[in-house]
Amino acid sequence: MPLMKRAHLVISRRTLLAGTGAALSAGLLPLPALKADNQQSWDLIVIGGGTAGMPTALFAAQRSKRVLIIEKAAILGGTLDRSTGQVAAAGTVFQDAKSIDDTPDAHYDDIMRINEGTSDPALTRLFVDNAGESLNWLAANGYQVRPEHPVTGSGHDHFRTPRYQWGMKNGWSIYEAMAPLVAQAEAAGRITVQLNTSAVGLMQDGSGSVTGVVSESADGSRRDYRARQVVLASGGCASNPAMYEELHGVPLYCQIAHPNSQGIGLTLGLSAGGYLRGGDKYAALPGAILTEAKFPSPPTAISSLNPDLRAPWEVLVNANGERFVQEDHPSMNHIEHAIGKQPGHRHWAIFDQAILDTAPPLVPDWTAQQVMDACDTHPMFFSADSLGSLGVKAGLNPRKLAASIEAYNAARENNRPDPFGLKHRPLPIANGPYYAVQMQGWTVISFAGLSVNTRLQVMQANGEPVQNLYAVGEVIGAGATSGRAYTNGMLVTPGITFGRLLGQQILKFS
Ligand SMILES: Cc1cc2nc3c(=O)[nH]c(=O)nc-3n(C[C@H](O)[C@H](O)[C@H](O)COP(=O)(O)OP(=O)(O)OC[C@H]3O[C@@H](n4cnc5c(N)ncnc54)[C@H](O)[C@@H]3O)c2cc1C
């Protein structure tokens, strides 16, 4: 049975070796035995100097002078170069400034309400109890949020209390707070940063304890770095289509993640005895208009399907030409999960000329003329004089498409409830030309990741930790912290918080 068909997807090195195909082996298995000619010894090696790796190294460097960051890219920061950087915490200076009362308990309850209890309860608890201090540390180092923040939400299901914010430069605002601290620690000789260097293997002793990292420089030369402790902070696998599909059972539809999100941390964790979980928590974001009809493909644009931000004027159908969701349902999770159940996670917005001419743009910032022109040039835009012809052109069942629109129009015209409960239906879809915009469910993050305990140690399937090996950030999987949902800020904030805790409290330097 293919791995992804299992109800609870748990992948260990044994599973990989025993039962998977060549594509997975190529993507996930560790490199063959590594020989290196040079050795250095460190208290701590952090693999990946991004969102989670930077705070890990910074706080560890307050307690040890022998901290090494191995970073594949030419600069630190990782995904903060593109992340929206939305973060959430209770007990922050940003809340204090607006006299917002909040508690970690209320934050925990909100997270579990939004993701329906699907994030790891122990990690979620650890997170909420420490997230406020993490954001306050950023604030003390110059991180500022937008003047109207904190808010209850934006784009995803809302919290009940305003505790959600982001900086003027999105994720880069967080980078700008942390990067000078790393530079200072480097200048003081407390952190060493090895850029343009990839971790390619872990060293282990006979008992399985991790003893160091094998790295490869841009020129291909290899080097052993011995370490008492190693932290995997190399991000997820959302730029590795083969690995992504194997672990989630869903193609990587859209490629937006950091190019180094190749899943090396997953491979290294598995090679040391860890196991993966969380791929079954995959959730699709709505509305990506892909540039090409192949995966992965960059999006031309992301349609505005969030009723919070734009009330829908169009109806959504699946490949059968059938509607499947209340387009203005108050929960974005509900809409996302409904899209996740449609064939190929594809969905089409259907509308007519009057809607195109009257409604606020479905494709942000596009004029009606641009949409009309795209029907001649772009593979995801279609128009026709009748619904039947539109269905044929767009690859939808024409008869069912016509029936779906007829039912929508009839209920609206007779002031009856919409078959799917849609409340916002200002115009009928009644006069050609008719339009269809094909969209794809998509994501930018890995839900699968290494299993860790609340000490952030990489766990083996037998319940024992891999000695000296820890993991923070997306390498532990969005499923662990965000659950089967896009829970506000539940990747960046846990990445920073768990990195801080590891460096500050958990790692031992005696
Ligand atoms: C477009 C976009 C928007 C997002 N918006 C949000 C949001 O608003 N809120 C939220 O919570 N989450 C968001 N996310 C997710 C979140 O930003 C990421 O999950 C998080 O930043 C990942 O942090 P990380 O430290 O695990 O990885 P990264 O920040 O990517 O850092 C990993 C580092 O490891 C390095 N690396 C990789 N391989 C190796 C190797 N072999 N050797 C050495 N170094 C290596 C990389 O170069 C990189 O610097 C978003 C993601 C994207 C792509």
- Smallest CA-to-CA distance from 314 within 300, 299, 330, 325 is with 325
At residue 38, the pLDDT reads 54
Cα 50 to ligand 1 centre (Å): 6
pLDDT at 310: 96
Grade residue 39 by pLDDT with cuts at 50, 70 and 90.
low
- Whether residue 341 sits in one domain with residue 455: no
The pLDDT assigned to 428 comes to: 98
pLDDT band at 255; cut points 50, 70, 90: confident
Is pLDDT above 80 for 7? Answer: no
Do 343 and 293 sit in the same domain of this protein? yes
pLDDT tens figures, 219-254: 999 999 999 999 999 999 999 999 999 999 999 999
User: Whose alpha carbon is nearest atom 51 of ligand 1?
Assistant: 83
Going by C-alpha positions, the residue among 442, 246, 420, 248 that lies closest to residue 346 is 442
Domain boundary among 441, 457, 473: 441
Both 248 and 197 in one domain: the answer is: yes
CATH number, position 135? 3.50.50.60
pLDDT(13) > 50: no
20 lines ligand 1 (CB under 6 A): no
Q: For residue 438, give the nearest of 297, 275, 268 by alpha carbon.
A: 297
Tokens standing for 233?
């902070």
413 and 468 inside one domain:
no
Which helix (H) or strand (E) element contains residue 222?
A: strand 222-232
Cα dihedral sign, 465-466-468-474: negative
Summarised one tens digit per residue, pLDDT across range 392-416 is 999 999 999 999 999 999 999 999 9
Taking CA atoms only, the protein residue closest to ligand 1 atom 35 is 48
**Whether residue 454 has pLDDT greater than 80:** yes
Q: For the domain that residue 292 is a member of, what is the CATH number? A: 3.90.700.10
Q: With the CA atoms of 411, 414, 417 and 423 taken in that order, what torsion angle do they form, in degrees rounded to the nearest 10?
A: 90
Q: Are both 166 and 120 inside the same structural domain? A: yes
What tokens were used for 135? 């954001």
Residues 178 and 312 in one domain: no
Ligand 1 binding pocket includes 111 (Cβ within 6 Å): no
**Ligand 1 proximity of 257 Cβ (cutoff 6 Å):** yes
* Domain that residue 371 falls in: 285-441
CA dist 217 to 101, 197, 223, 235, 385, Å?
50, 5, 8, 19, 59
pLDDT value at 10 more than 50? no
Task: Say what the pLDDT of residue 11 is.
Answer: 52
CA nearest ligand 1 atom 17, residue: 83
Q: Which pLDDT belongs to residue 30?
A: 47
Residue 66 near ligand 1, beta carbon < 6 Å: no
What is the average per-residue pLDDT within 484-489? 97
Structure confidence at residue 21 (pLDDT):
30
Among all chains, which residue has been given the structure tokens 């004029």? 367
CA 405/CA 190 separation, integer angstroms: 65
Do 384 and 273 share a structural domain? no
| φ, ψ dihedrals at 190, nearest 5° | -95, -25
Instruction: Say which residue the tokens 């024409």 belong to.
Output: 398
User: Cβ neighbours of residue 415 under 8 Å, at least 6 residues apart?
Assistant: none
CB atoms closer than 10 angstroms to residue 104: 17
154 touches ligand 1 (CB under 6 Å): no
- Atom 37 of ligand 1: nearest residue by CA position: 234
Which range among 194-198, 331-335, 379-383, 506-510 shows the weakest confidence by mean pLDDT? Answer: 506-510
Same domain (yes/no): 311, 453? no
Tell me, yes or no, whether 340 and 222 share the same domain: no
- Region class of 78: left (phi > 0), else alpha (psi between -120 and 50), else beta: left
Distances in Å between the Cα of 330 and the Cα atoms of 309, 326, 345, 421, 465 are 11, 9, 20, 11, 42
Nearest ligand 1 atom to the CA of 76 is 49
Last residue of a domain, one of 398, 414, 441: 441
For range 424-442, the mean pLDDT: 97
Domain boundary among 392, 411, 441: 441
Cα–Cα dist 456/498, whole Å: 8
pLDDT digit string, tens, across residues 262-296: 999 999 999 999 999 999 999 999 999 999 999 99
The pLDDT assigned to 155 comes to: 87
Query: Residues 239, 227: one domain?
Result: yes
The reported pLDDT for the residue numbered 222 is 95
Best residue for ligand 1 mutational test, from 260, 472, 500 (most atoms within 8 Å of Cβ):
260
432: β partners: none
What's the pLDDT at 196? 97
Residues 406, 297: one domain?
A: yes
Examine the domain organization and report whether 216 and 152 are in the same domain: yes
Mutate to test the pocket of ligand 1, among 56, 491, 498, 502 (most ligand atoms within 8 A of CB): 491
The distance in angstroms from the start CA to the end CA of the chain is 47
Query: What global pTM score does this model have?
Result: 0.92
- Ligand 1: residue of 234, 481, 493 to mutate (most ligand atoms within 8 A of CB) is 234
Whole-number Å distance between alpha carbons of 6 and 9? 6
DSSP label at 459? E
Q: How many domains is the chain built from?
A: 2
Angle 53-60/171-187 helices, nearest 10 degrees? 30
Distance 262 CA to ligand 1 centre (A): 11
CA of 173 to the centre of ligand 1 (A): 14
